[in-house]
Amino acid sequence: MTKQKYSFDIIAIIINKDHFHTIIKPQDINAYPKIIGNIKRTFTKISGIDHLKNNNRESDIWQRRYWEHTIITEEDLYRHIDYIHYNSVKHYGIAPKDWKFSSFNKFVKNGIYEKDWCNIDDKYHIKSLDLE
């Protein structure tokens, strides 16, 4: 729905239980806040998850703010893609290949990652992926 309303590409994404990470490439950079807001509203509507609304008519599913980072180099892009796909290991101890709410398997299919990239044992050896 959001992609129909705004023109953008999803480079990488992971949907976690209480937050999501994505790298998008909007046709109009000024539309970025509208895209994120629309994704949140659409997900809330179609999720079927019971949620409350606060006095500002905001869902309690999402944080009010979001962190935005403009990718400026190819190295920065790959580092953030790795971070997104590492998130299932970081938060849930689940290998990226086993987390179905992620673009990881698309990257495997396209030959960018090996299927066993960042297995559970790697969690304790990868410090560069913790961007928070």
Domain count for the chain: 1
Q: By residue range, what is the domain housing residue 93?
A: 2-124
CATH of the domain at 41: 3.30.70.1290
Cα-to-chain-centroid distance, residue 15: 6
**Is residue 94 predicted with pLDDT exceeding 70?**
yes
pLDDT (average), residues 87-113: 94
Does 131 reside within a domain?
A: no
pLDDT at residue 3, as a whole number:
83
Classified as helix, coil or strand, 123 is helix
pLDDT band at 101 (very low <50, low <70, confident <90, very high): very high
**Could you read off the pLDDT of 67-84 as tens digits, one per residue?**
888 999 999 999 999 999
Does 132 reside within a domain?
A: no
Judging by DSSP bridges, how do beta strands 8-15 and 20-26 pair with one another? Answer: antiparallel
Does 94 reside within a domain?
A: yes
Q: Select the more confidently predicted residue: 2 or 77.
A: 77
Does 33 reside within a domain?
A: yes
Does 129 reside within a domain?
A: no
Residues 44 and 106: beta-carbon distance below 8 Å: no
Largest CA distance in the chain: 47
